[in-house]
Amino acid sequence: MEISSDLKTTDTKHKNDPGHKKGLRTVATIEFLKGIGGVLLGVGFLSLVHKDVWDITARVMEFLHINPDRHWAQVILDRADQVTDHQLLMVAAGFFAYSTLRFIEAYGLWKTRIWAEWLAILSGLLYLPFELHELLRKATPLKWALLVINLALVSYVAYVRFSAKRLERQVRAQEEAR
């Protein structure tokens, strides 16, 4: 019984470490902002349901002064002409699901929950293959920045999580030595 109470105390000390709490809350804020972005994208796709997506795409291209006669502009317009309401709803649902996950992760990190640290590590690692694939296709400063930011966030949360585990093992070893 004494060991488990010491472990709880150790975990509480770790969670209440102002540096870790601030760091985890920073990561939580970033995840919350990602969730907001997902909601905005989901609402944006929902707003396209029952609309002429080709016409909207053509107007956006005109606003951005993109020549619609260019090959890649024609490809985009052709794709826009093929979009169905069902596809728009599915993409919107995907963004809402993504946002839900980000909000749950942000809440857990803000409250310094262990499950949220694991969720942050795993979800951040899921992006890596896609980010690396995109970098191999064509490296841009934005792609490099996204990779570096993702690696920094995952590394920090992993550091917090594994330093807590190391602390727990040290307490156990001290208790067993008594």
In a domain, 78, yes or no: no
pLDDT at 141: 94
- 97-137 residue pLDDT tens: 999 999 999 999 999 999 999 999 999 999 899 999 999 99
- Please report, as a single letter, which amino acid is at residue 18: P
- CA 92/CA 42 separation, integer angstroms: 4
What residues make up the domain containing 22? 2-48+83-177
Residue 6's pLDDT band, with cuts at 50, 70 and 90, is: very low
Residue 134 to residues 75, 79, 127, 139, 154, Cα–Cα distance (Å): 20, 21, 11, 7, 19
- Nearest CA among 164, 165, 175, 171 for reference residue 21: 164
What CA–CA distance (Å, rounded) separates 36 from 74?
Answer: 31
**Residue 83 contacts residue 53 (beta carbons within 8 Å):** yes
Question: Has residue 114 been placed in a domain?
Answer: yes
Q: How far apart (Å, rounded) are the C-alpha atoms in residues 85 and 49?
A: 5
10 Å CB burial of residue 104 (0-12, 13-18, 19+) is: middle
Per residue in 75-84, pLDDT (tens digit) is 999 999 999 9
Q: Is residue 33 part of a domain?
A: yes
- The per-residue pLDDT for 15 is 53
Mean pLDDT of 134-149: 93
What is the Cα gyration radius of the chain? Answer: 23
Q: What is this structure's pTM?
A: 0.78
| pLDDT band for position 2 (cuts 50, 70, 90) | very low
Measure the CA–CA gap between 106 and 117, rounded to whole angstroms. Answer: 10
Per-residue pLDDT at 25 exceeds 80: yes
What CA–CA distance (Å, rounded) separates 118 from 123? 8
Establish if 69 belongs to a structural domain: no
Residue 166 confidence (pLDDT) = 72
DSSP string over 62-102: HHTT--TTSHHHHHHHHHHHH--HHHHHHHHHHHHHHHHHH
- What's the domain count of the chain? 1
**Mean pLDDT for the chain overall:** 88
Q: Is residue 74 part of a domain?
A: no
Is pLDDT of 13 > 60?
no
pLDDT number for residue 17: 64
Report if residue 150 sits inside a domain: yes
Question: What pLDDT digit, counting tens, does each position of 33-64 carry?
Answer: 999 999 999 999 999 999 999 999 999 999 99
Q: What does the pLDDT read at residue 171? A: 72
